[in-house]
């Protein structure tokens, strides 16, 4: 008789499933980027499982939290998550259907012509992709616009004791995003946290990336943003502030 799985077992299985879907899809397409999905799978799983307010059966819910993958080359990270979360597809009439936004057949067609899983996420092709993130910095800049929109909607439509809009925006961006003005300056244009709320995960690459991350964190602090630097804990293999 098999023993019931603990929550830790389920979490690890889910994270590894995201990773293996990314690996298999990239291998099938003979192109793509498996590294970022493998490294970021725990981050995205934790976010979607414990923090993101999102209804997979109603991906058009106006007050849903937004997740933006500005590092669009890691697209299989998003496609695998949408598949496992069971996000439903929206048809051309704007109707939510019973079909999955990213079924397994589409994962098998990763990076193929006319598939719903192109190399970089396209919002008009795949339900659950909040914004197209092909050009560097595009998602980072757009996520700030979404966060400002949340605040604007709240100011204009919320009433005392009755919030209609209070959604958060979560974005993952890389050093390349921050080397582009639309990403770096877009983030700084958001102003202090009371003006916009957007959480950026800065995935630092070697060589010249360190300077970009340091610059955006320092400039962010100058604009009243909170910047945290995570370092890997060698004893436990985990990241810590």
pLDDT tens readout for residues 179-231: 787 877 776 666 555 444 555 555 545 444 445 455 555 555 555 455 556 56
Please give the pLDDT value at position 206.
46
Helices (H) and strands (E) in the chain, counts: 8, 7
Please give the pLDDT value at position 37.
94
Please give the pLDDT value at position 182.
82
Count other C-beta atoms under 10 Å from residue 212's C-beta. 21
Q: Count how many Cα atoms sit within 13 Å of the Cα of residue 44 in the half-sphere of its side chain.
A: 32
Please give the pLDDT value at position 135.
86
> What integer best gives the mean pLDDT of the chain?
83
Q: Residue 138 has which token pair?
A: 């595009």
Dmax (CA) for the chain in angstroms is: 59
pLDDT value at 161 more than 50: yes
Beta bridge partners of 150: none
Instruction: Specify the 3-state DSSP secondary structure of 19.
Output: helix
Nearest-10 crossing angle of helices 35-50, 75-85: 40
pTM: 0.83
């Amino acid at each position: 008789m098999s023993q019931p799985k603990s929550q830790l077992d389920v979490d690890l299985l889910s994270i590894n499933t995201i990773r293996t879907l990314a690996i298999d899809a990239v291998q099938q397409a003979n192109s793509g980027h498996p590294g970022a999905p493998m490294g970021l799978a725990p981050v995205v799983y934790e976010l979607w499982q414990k923090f993101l307010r999102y209804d997979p059966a109603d991906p058009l819910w106006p007050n849903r939290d937004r997740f933006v993958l500005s590092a669009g080359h890691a697209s299989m990270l998003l496609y695998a998550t949408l598949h496992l979360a069971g996000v439903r597809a929206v048809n051309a009439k704007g109707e939510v259907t019973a079909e999955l936004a990213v079924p397994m057949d589409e994962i098998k067609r990763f990076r193929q012509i006319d598939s719903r899983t192109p190399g970089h996420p396209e919002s008009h092709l795949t339900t659950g992709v909040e914004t197209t993130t092909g050009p560097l910095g595009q998602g980072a800049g757009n996520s700030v616009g979404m966060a400002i929109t949340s605040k604007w909607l709240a100011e204009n439509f919320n009433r005392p004791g009755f919030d209609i809009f209070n959604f958060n925006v979560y974005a993952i961006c890389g050093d390349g995003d921050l080397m582009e003005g639309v990403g770096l300056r877009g983030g700084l244009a958001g102003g202090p946290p009371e003006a916009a709320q957007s959480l950026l995960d800065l995935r630092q690459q070697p060589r010249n990336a360190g300077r970009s991350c340091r610059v955006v964190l320092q400039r962010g602090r100058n604009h009243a943003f909170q910047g945290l630097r995570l370092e890997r804990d060698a004893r436990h293999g985990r990241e810590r502030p």
